């Protein structure tokens, strides 16, 4: 351990992990002293939301299946109005970052506690970070009121997550751990969690691709996402997340897929200035995905950025912003957003450097 001075704040939440843990949801509602819960989910997760609502019985105040990526402010306003209309005194957010983000938007305005039931690997459930998108710009902030009071991690609820979405969601989780390893406010505790989170996710994703119904692989991926999400909640994110917020909020690119494409390039940008993080990621990726290869070439564990880019290719994940719908003319405006305000990053953030990073990611070129 090289850090001799640090601080670490443990977030006040309760976590229940294990197959079938969603059955304990009524107990969690009782523990909060709540009586009526509004279930939030995306339209795609409506069936799951209804199943969770049925678990609550008469404690359910209904299902609102309107969650969307990046939490458009108009969706948040409708959700806040619905919660007040049905007399909900808490929310149950079922799904990924969209549903949990919508729960946070209600908590931010009305202070209703949130119980999160993640069905993806996004990690938002572990943080006090909220985000709202209005007029093509995504605003984010931190507020302890939006932190879920309880989180139920039930691997059974992730068995139906499409394999392609599982992979990009997993890379989204890894991005949280990567940036936590070189965050200015990292601690030895978080660094351990970050390395273990990357190791678990890198090992789980190939197994999920091989068999999306493998309960052990799903449990390992959800375990990894929990650790990576905890890192997101405890540290300050840097260039990678700044770019993904700009790309998502301005261009409405798919959230997890954008993280998947940008991560290797942002990491390559920062690796020379973050040797300890690079060493930790080398260890994690070497043990997490050591059996993988790309054709006849064994994946290079000595370069974590290239290793992640190769892993994405092996798992048939997107590797180009152009393929996600970004126009080449968007590169420079996004670069301008990324350098418009100072923020912590191990390598100096320059417009030319960010432009080169984005152009490589847009072209689908190898990082570095």
Find the CATH number of the domain harbouring 130: 3.40.50.1970
pLDDT the model gives residue 300: 52
Q: Does 46 lie in the same domain as 184?
A: no
Span of 164-168, 232-236, 307-311 with lowest mean pLDDT = 232-236
Measured CA angle at 178 (ends 324, 285), to 5 deg: 95
Q: Does 167 lie in the same domain as 152?
A: no
Nearest alpha carbon to residue 215 among 150, 276, 155: 155
7 falls within a domain: no
Each residue of 93-113: b (16+ CB within 10 Å) or e?
bbbbbbbbbbbbbbbbbeebb
Q: Does 106 lie in the same domain as 49?
A: yes
Task: Give the whole-angstrom CA distance, residue 93 versus residue 96.
Answer: 8
8 falls within a domain: no
Q: Does 174 lie in the same domain as 138?
A: no
Q: Does 187 lie in the same domain as 129?
A: no
Q: Does 263 lie in the same domain as 139?
A: no
pLDDT at 299 over 70: no
Q: Decide which of 124, 158, 192 is a domain's last residue.
A: 158
Sheet bearing 14-17, strands edge to edge: 14-17, 150-153, 114-118, 90-95, 37-40, 60-64
What is the tens place of the pLDDT at every residue in 82-132? 999 999 999 999 999 899 999 999 999 889 999 999 999 989 999 998 999
Give the whole-number percent of the chain exceeding pLDDT 90.
85
User: Which CATH number characterizes residue 191's domain?
Assistant: 1.20.1090.10
pLDDT the model gives residue 139: 86
Q: How many helices (H) and strands (E) does the chain have?
A: 13, 10
pLDDT at 357 over 70: yes
Q: Decide which of 142, 158, 174 is a domain's last residue.
A: 158
Span between the terminal Cα atoms of the chain, in Å: 28
pLDDT at 289 over 70: no
- The rounded mean pLDDT for the chain is 93
Per DSSP, the residues of 48-89 read HHHHHHHHHGGGEEEEE----TT-BHHHHHHHHHHHHHTT-S
318 falls within a domain: yes
- 291 — pLDDT class (breaks 50, 70, 90): very low
* Count of structural domains within the chain: 2
22 falls within a domain: yes
pLDDT the model gives residue 135: 86
pLDDT the model gives residue 235: 93
Q: Does 140 lie in the same domain as 169?
A: no
Which residues lie across from 151 on neighbouring strands?
Answer: 15, 116
pLDDT the model gives residue 356: 98
Q: Does 178 lie in the same domain as 99?
A: no
Maximum Cα interatomic distance, the chain, rounded to a whole number of Å: 61
Mean pLDDT of 321-327: 98
Q: Does 351 lie in the same domain as 237?
A: yes
What is the tens place of the pLDDT at every residue in 159-172? 999 999 999 999 99
Q: Does 223 lie in the same domain as 331?
A: yes
- Domain containing 74 equals 15-158
Q: Decide which of 110, 138, 158 is a domain's last residue.
A: 158
pLDDT at 56 over 80: yes
Q: Does 53 lie in the same domain as 93?
A: yes
Q: Does 198 lie in the same domain as 261?
A: yes
Nearest alpha carbon to residue 316 among 210, 159, 214: 210
| CB-CB contact of 128 with 233 (8 Å) | yes
Task: Give the whole-angstrom CA distance, residue 81 versus residue 163.
Answer: 35
- 368 — pLDDT class (breaks 50, 70, 90): confident
């Amino acid at each position: 351990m090289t850090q001799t001075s640090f601080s670490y704040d443990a977030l006040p939440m309760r976590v229940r992990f294990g197959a079938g843990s969603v059955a304990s949801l009524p107990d969690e509602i009782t523990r909060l002293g709540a009586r009526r819960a509004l279930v939030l989910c995306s339209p795609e997760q409506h069936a799951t939301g209804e199943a969770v609502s049925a678990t609550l019985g008469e404690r359910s105040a209904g299902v609102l299946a309107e969650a969307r990526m990046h939490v458009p402010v108009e969706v948040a306003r409708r959700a806040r109005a619905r919660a007040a209309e049905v007399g909900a005194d808490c929310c149950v957010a079922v799904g990924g970052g969209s549903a949990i983000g919508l729960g946070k938007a209600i908590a931010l305005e009305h202070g209703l506690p949130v119980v999160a039931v993640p069905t993806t690997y996004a990690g938002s459930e572990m943080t006090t970070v909220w985000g709202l998108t209005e007029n093509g710009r995504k605003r984010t902030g931190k507020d302890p009121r939006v932190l879920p009071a309880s989180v139920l991690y039930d691997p059974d609820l992730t068995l139906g997550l499409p394999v392609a979405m599982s992979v990009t969601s997993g890379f989204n989780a890894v991005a949280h751990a990567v940036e936590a390893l070189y965050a200015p406010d990292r601690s030895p505790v978080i660094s351990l969690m970050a390395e273990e989170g990357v190791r678990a996710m890198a090992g789980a994703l190939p197994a999920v691709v091989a068999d999306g119904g493998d309960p052990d692989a799903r449990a390992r991926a959800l375990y990894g996402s929990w650790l990576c999400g905890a890192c997101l909640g405890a540290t300050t994110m840097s260039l990678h997340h700044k770019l993904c917020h700009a790309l998502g909020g301005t261009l409405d690119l798919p959230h997890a897929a954008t993280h998947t494409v940008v991560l290797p390039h942002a990491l390559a940008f920062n690796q020379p200035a973050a040797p300890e993080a690079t060493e930790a990621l080398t260890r994690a990726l070497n043990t997490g995905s050591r059996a993988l290869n790309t054709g006849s070439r064994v994946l290079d564990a000595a370069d974590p950025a290239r290793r992640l880019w190769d892993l994405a290719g092996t798992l048939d994940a997107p590797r180009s912003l152009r393929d996600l719908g970004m126009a080449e003319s968007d590169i420079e405006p996004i670069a301008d957003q990324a350098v418009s305000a100072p923020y912590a990053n191990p390598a100096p953030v320059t417009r030319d450097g960010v432009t080169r990073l984005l152009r490589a990611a847009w072209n689908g070129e190898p990082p570095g």
